[in-house]
Amino acid sequence: MSRGTHAVFNQSTPFVDINLFTANRALADALRFNHAGFDAARFAKLGAEMGSAEMQRHARLANAFAPQLRSHDRYGHRVDQVEFHPSYHALLAAALRHRLHGAPWSAAAGAHVERAAAFMLFTECEPSVLCPVSMSYAVTPALRANAAIYAEWAAGLASDRYDQRFLPFQEKTGLTMGMGMTEKQGGSDVRANTSRADFDGEDAWGRRYRITGHKWFFSAPMCDAFLVLAQTPAGLSCLFLPRILPDGTVNALAIQRLKHKVGNHANASSEVEFDAACAWLVGDEGRGVPQILAMGALTRLDCALGTAGLMRHALSLALHHTGQRQAFGRRLAEQPMMKNVLADLALESEAATALALRLARAVDRSENGQDASGHEARLRRLLTPIAKFWICKRGSHFAQEAMECLGGNGYVEEQGEGVMARIYREMPLNSIWEGAGNIMALDLLRALRAPEMAGALEHEVAPARHAHAVLDRSLAATLRAIDGLTEEAQARRLARDLALLLQAALLRQHASDAVFDAFCASRFEAAADVFGLLPAGTDVDAIITRANPAQMV
């Protein structure tokens, strides 16, 4: 039989065996701006590994073969364990080996910035295994409120030796932690939680309780322990709940089912019930919300970082495909409208990278004692809801446009090989997890009540003053809006406007003139509602050349 009709041509090659770091000038420049002494060799090694065909294969398999719940063994005993494909464990082991979890807390200045950039690179390969990694990173500030537990768990939470075994924490080479906040009836309104914690005595870990209740979203249930919220007589409190108790018995945590989600398929998100499960108080009784929000603020950072990483990979796939695909007599990347779209996507990706890493620097400096003036702490308080809101909101729109650059090839998932489709399904998660858009906008309003915040914003935007007239006008209007803000319903607009101002100021300092000018011309007074509306005269070639991995490998 003739196979001439099945000859394959005019298709792009697989986007594998690319060094994701050396191909990403925007990330390198932002990293250098926020932490000039970063370990370049470490990032070159990480970029090569995350872009390798082997790691991409692990990413595909971890998503194609979703986690499976084993509620009982074959004899009828309740076991409540989740089984993962070996590729999931390979990916998680790599994440810990590259110190994306608790390691920065005991490292030198700049460690949080390096960890943030590495988290973005890892996300380009596979984001959904990073849920337990992110929570294990974020747990430290909250867990320190129980010194006895922290003393015994800190080393394991910072270990780079992943250990998948279901064993007591004392017997493992590395530990991971999760959190349990939301319940069926409350969602983001955690004060509506009904799970009850009854006092059960005191021991070496402090005040011990028995928790009875449920959690509606309980991600990564095979973590070694969790911070959970439950009601005590004094109110909602934060408690430390291990899967296996110090004496070796399994805690009374029943996994009811695993969530079937739009994306994030490699990660096991579950519903659980507690039947007098044993837990220990962390912080003050009745102060559970601010206690666990110390953890939530850091996972919000990771939402922004993760979305920025996904944006970058979607952009790379679009550039790779359009640079090889022929249409109407020339490469897609040479078509005028496609060039406008690609350049616009490159602007958005670089701006997201800049804002996310600037937040990471604020975290780093406010945690390591370098923030003598308090500016970084104030900026951290502002940037967390701003970055989480805007970067994550833009993610889904970005992925849809990048997918369109690939046409039908981008929409199809053939045996899990459609990376763009996987990115598209993943994008909405970071906008929802750890507080959706309205929650972030409300949090920003609370932060802006402090009178010194407007000054912190002005100081941060100062390097870009008088560099572009439209930016100056937008800054003046936004400061007036902050001063006269009375309507809660306008908070989302304010979050967007502040994000754009801060992104522009950062691009002025470490991006090219072409990127900065095009960003200002397209994001402020002539704000575009779709990608690909860059105004006439924009140097799209310079922007694409800066973003295109093919120019740098």
Query: Each residue of 150-182: pLDDT tens digit?
Result: 999 999 999 999 999 999 999 999 999 999 888
Q: Is 99 helix (H, G, I), strand (E, B) or coil?
A: coil
Whole-number average pLDDT of the chain: 92
Averaged pLDDT, 104-132: 93
Residue 189 confidence (pLDDT) = 76
Could you tell me which residue, 116 or 418, shows the higher pLDDT?
116
pLDDT for 299 beyond 80: yes
The Cα–Cα gap between 18 and 548 comes to: 12
Output the CA–CA distances (angstroms, integers) from residue 129 to 68, 101, 143, 302, 333, in the order listed: 15, 12, 22, 13, 33
Question: Measuring CA to CA, which residue among 409, 408, 405 is closest to residue 335?
Answer: 405
Averaged pLDDT, 277-292: 93
pLDDT for 342 beyond 70: yes
Asked if residue 230 lies in contact with residue 239, where contact means CB atoms within 8 angstroms, the answer is: yes
pLDDT for 3 beyond 70: no
Question: Measuring CA to CA, which residue among 180, 253, 188, 184 is closest to residue 216?
Answer: 184
Residue type, 456: A
HSE (CB half, 13 Å, CA atoms) of 490? Answer: 11
The Cα–Cα gap between 517 and 521 comes to: 6
Residue 206 confidence (pLDDT) = 97
Residue 553 confidence (pLDDT) = 32
Q: Max CA-CA distance within the chain?
A: 79
Asked if residue 385 lies in contact with residue 300, where contact means CB atoms within 8 angstroms, the answer is: yes
Q: How does residue 2 score in pLDDT terms, banded at 50, 70 and 90?
A: low
> In this prediction, what percent of the chain has a pLDDT beyond 70?
97
Residue 544 CB-density burial (10 A; 0-12 exposed, 13-18 middle, 19+ buried): buried
For residue range 319-329, what is the model confidence (pLDDT) as tens digits? 999 998 888 88
Residue 175 confidence (pLDDT) = 97
Residue 190 confidence (pLDDT) = 77
Residue 552 confidence (pLDDT) = 40
pLDDT for 390 beyond 60: yes
The Cα–Cα gap between 485 and 477 comes to: 12
Could you tell me which residue, 527 or 215, shows the higher pLDDT?
215
pLDDT for 527 beyond 80: no
User: What is the DSSP code string of 313-335?
Assistant: HHHHHHHHHHTT-EETTEEGGGS
Residue 403 confidence (pLDDT) = 96
Asked if residue 322 lies in contact with residue 332, where contact means CB atoms within 8 angstroms, the answer is: yes
Length of the chain: 553
Residue 69 confidence (pLDDT) = 96
Whole-prediction pTM value? 0.95
Residue type, 230: A
Query: Would you give the distance in Å from CA 55 to the centre of its chain?
Result: 19
Averaged pLDDT, 300-313: 97
Could you tell me which residue, 106 or 302, shows the higher pLDDT?
302
> In this prediction, what percent of the chain has a pLDDT beyond 90?
80
HSE (CB half, 13 Å, CA atoms) of 397? Answer: 15
Query: Would you give the distance in Å from CA 288 to the centre of its chain?
Result: 23
Averaged pLDDT, 275-302: 92
Residue 410 confidence (pLDDT) = 87
For residue range 450-493, what is the model confidence (pLDDT) as tens digits? 889 989 999 999 999 999 999 999 999 998 888 877 788 889 99
pLDDT for 1 beyond 60: no
pLDDT for 419 beyond 80: yes
Both ends of the chain: CA-CA distance in Å? 42
Residue 7 confidence (pLDDT) = 82
pLDDT for 293 beyond 90: no
Name the DSSP letter for residue 103.
G
Q: How does residue 13 score in pLDDT terms, banded at 50, 70 and 90?
A: confident
210, two tokens: 């028995």
